[in-house]
A and B are shown apart, each in its own frame.
Chain A
């Protein structure tokens, strides 16, 4: 884990009074902690997006980068499985117009063009710094309904591998990861790694208040960070 690299990203963001790390920065942090992150490029405009997509290879994900929009998909800032150049143009202008209507004051820093992540089980792994108890890690069966279902478990960080597995086994949706209804068994070790590493980042790097991967897409082998954010303090 490249702790100094992570510290540098956080410090730079704080030095320009940032309150969040936007997705590419948060993913850079996770990459330095050897998480698996999809290939991506940050672009400024639609022609850059098309060029990036050609390079990465279709289909791609097209995402808005804005420090003011935390839940991008709710805000219409995420398009997945964009198939070709024409669709990029369509989705891009749709996104720009939607933002202008719904979030006229949001700063748009650019766009993220990203390799699509193959399907798998979606989980959320998060960490926050509690003023009394310090870093706390959370595990849950992911997706956008996580706040509704609250099917999650918590541990004080840093955690052991045993605790990471306990956290997984505690949630009701656990069978989704272990072959429920003919699904394949997912890589629980990769989830445990993610939980342990998030706790470690929080315990060893100052300045991060919340750090969250949602979703972490878990395959039979490995797990990929599909989206991530960090709140700074």
Chain B
């Protein structure tokens, strides 16, 4: 028996068999094969007794016929054929990804099939991700079993954020957005029905995965709650772990007879579990993306003190309001900084917090203000609300800010509200390695999420 959390086969395979390979490009197996050929560096073995060749690759009648064991087998077959196919694989694969649907999610017949799948996995010792999932998109190894075409759902480049998701469509949509925004990922796992590998297994792996610097989770339900909490707590002690839980309105203890039981909806219990595990709680899809961008590009803040630098006074105040409503603080500039900045800046700049550089702002004035306010121990992070109207601002601004003159660890969050011109600038910030958002609300959500690591980076 392997170590319970040994998922190495899934994340560093050197060979993959695609069981159910088909030459038709529109089929699930066709999409997977094309994606693998696009990005996977190792050996790819199509398996299907009906073909000799698929997409120019030699096709094998069975995994056994390949001649040597593979690290990973991907099954794109009708549900009813999967348990037998896994039994036939025997000891010839270490891990299996079953993307097929039609199992426990599909009614009583599917429940039986899933049980047969579990039994087959147990008797052969193969670890299984799925069924009813998209499997793995891994920007580190190039492994991609997501059967959604790349022209419709883009794949992010290599980054340090890993995502584990019960829902395949949620994972696919999120990575498409991250790719479009220029945010990279490390490992993305859609684990579906979790007949074997579940969120706790993934967390155990990601905790020790050097490629992963932060973990984002999407869950609908957790069965072994205590084990999840233990694994998540271990992981969050090392790196940030954040989670969104959907299905919040589901009532808690049915037929509860005490006040406690009547009030405790299932979501309250999930929140308590997240808290115990050191997981940062996220509220829905938007928060999830914001948090992915924030922790995908920067690390946590040591506290809650936010400095706001802007070239639009109104937007600065808006950001400040949002910060305070979210439980962050916006401490005033200390006297010595006011003196220093007032001496350097024209009198019509507002030297406070928010610090307003007005329409006369330049790249240099932003960088100067940033360096002065963030180098001492006055603030834990900064929100730069850059409006692009002032003509002196150039596309060099994100790069200049990203140099973090005079400080290292403190996160910089950019906020660039506006239309087409401003929206295009978001990408520049991301390329410079700074998370950037269109609205003050999103920027403050990011600040809030980053502040929840409080000293643990």
Minimum CB distance partner of B260 in chain A: A126
Q: Which of B223, B226, B260, B275 contacts A138 (CB 8 A)?
A: B260
Give the contact stretch, choosing among A48-56, A79-87, A127-135, A172-180.
A127-135
Partner of A229, one of B221, B224, B258: B258
Interface size on A, residues (CB 8 A): 27
- Would you list which residues of chain B between 89 and 108 have a CB under 8 Å from chain A? none
- Is A136 engaged at the interface, CB distance under 8 Å to the other chain? yes
From residue 157 to 189 of chain B, which have CB atoms closer than 8 A to chain A? none
CB neighbours of A127 from chain B (8 A): 260
B269–A231 CB distance below 8 A? no
Contact B268 A154 (CB under 8 A): yes
Query: Is residue B259 within 8 Å, beta carbon to beta carbon, of the partner chain?
Result: yes
Report the Cα distance A48→B252, complex, angstroms: 42
Of the residues A128, A147, A155, A212, contact of B253 by C-beta under 8 Å: A128
CB-based contact B259/A154 at 8 Å: no
CB contacts under 8 Å to A, within B64-106, are none
Cβ-defined contact, B276 with A128, below 8 A: no
**Given the contacts A133-B229, A154-B272, A155-B272, A138 and B263 also touching, CB distance less than 8 Å:** yes
Residues of A within 8 A of B269 (CB): 130, 132-133, 136, 154, 156
CB-CB nearest in chain A for B271? A154
Dominant secondary structure at the B interface: helix
| Interface membership of B418, Cβ < 8 A | no
Residue of A nearest to B222 (CB): A132
Task: List residues of B (259-279) whose CB comes within 8 Å of A's CBs.
Answer: 259-264, 268-273, 275-276
Q: Do A231 and B258 touch across chains, with their CB atoms under 8 A apart?
A: yes
Taking CB atoms, residues of chain A closer than 8 Å to B221 are 132
- Distance between A139 CB and nearest chain B CB, rounded to angstroms: 10
- Which A residues are in CB contact (< 8 Å) with B252? 130
Pick the residue among B225, B268, B275, B276 that contacts A132 (CB under 8 A): B225
A residues engaging B (CB < 8 A)?
20, 70, 124, 126-128, 130, 132-134, 136, 138, 140, 146-147, 150, 152, 154-156, 209-212, 214, 229, 231
Interchain residue pairs with CB less than 8 A apart (26): A126-B261, A128-B253, A130-B264, A132-B222, A132-B225, A133-B226, A133-B273, A134-B225, A136-B269, A136-B272, A138-B263, A140-B259, A146-B263, A152-B263, A154-B268, A154-B269, A155-B276, A156-B276, A210-B253, A210-B260, A211-B258, A214-B259, A229-B257, A231-B256, A231-B257, A231-B258
